[in-house]
Structure 1
Amino acid sequence: MIPNEPAPRPSSEHLQQGTGGGSGQSSRLRRALMVLAVVFAAIGLVSLAAILLTAFLQGSVWPGFVLATYFCLPIAFLLMAAAVVSSAISRRRS
């Protein structure tokens, strides 16, 4: 294809194959993975904000906030990385 040449239009058969949406099961799994990652990240960030606010107010930090921050943020990072890898693999296959 030449840079000034318009892209070819996809055929009706190509559109009916459902490319881009992925299969139903893997799409639902990826969506659940992303939602779980966002939930863990939100819990970790709220816990981190509670720790910082408590430290700013010179109070004693509840250990549950520390544990939630220590575990939720790395788990969220790993889940987000897994979602990126899963998306890259599914795009590579289609």
Structure 2
Amino acid sequence: MIPDEPAPAHSPDPRHGTGDTQDGRSRGRSVVLILAVAFAAVGLVSLAAILATAFLQGTVWPGFVLATYFCLPIAFLLMAALVVWSAVSRRRS
């Protein structure tokens, strides 16, 4: 193949399947990513509510405290799992 020649069209190899497993893996990774972002957003919004309430010298609702205590660590663990998942998938390919 010369440099100016277009690459040949890639035909799926029937021995390796249709690629549905790759789509399933990326879909699973997307779900974990969305969950991590959602937990982080809820945790940060509740943390901001705690700080605003404390700044205004009000009584902090315990639900905000619980949301901050649980959502932020869960988001961190999900993000760490995504990093490990990505490293493992790169190592396999």
Q: Give the TM bin, normalised by the shorter chain.
A: 0.7 to 0.9
SS of residue matched to 2:59: coil
Deviation at 1:62, TM superposition (A): 0.1
Structure with the larger RCO, 1 or 2 (CA within 8 Å, 6+ apart): 1
| Offset at residue 12 of structure 1 (A) | 4.6
Counterpart of 1:73 in structure 2 is 72
Q: Percent identity?
A: 70
* Cα displacement (A) at 1:76: 0.1
Q: Which amino acid aligns with 1:47?
A: S
1:45-75 residue CA offsets vs partner (Å, 9 max, x unmatched): 0000000000000000000000000000000
Aligned residues: 79
Which secondary structure state, in structure 2, belongs to the residue aligned with residue 59 of structure 1? coil
Structure 2 distance, partners of 1:92, 1:66, is 40
The aligned residue for residue 91 of structure 2 is 92
| Equivalent residue runs for 1:27-46 within 5 Å | 27-46=26-45
Gaps of 5+ in 1: 1-10
Amino acid at match of 2:89: S
Match for residue 47 of structure 1? 46
* C-alpha RMSD of the superposition: 1.8
* 1:84 CA displacement: 0.7
Compute the TM-score of the two structures, normalised by the length of structure 1. 0.77
* 2:25 pairs with 1:26: yes
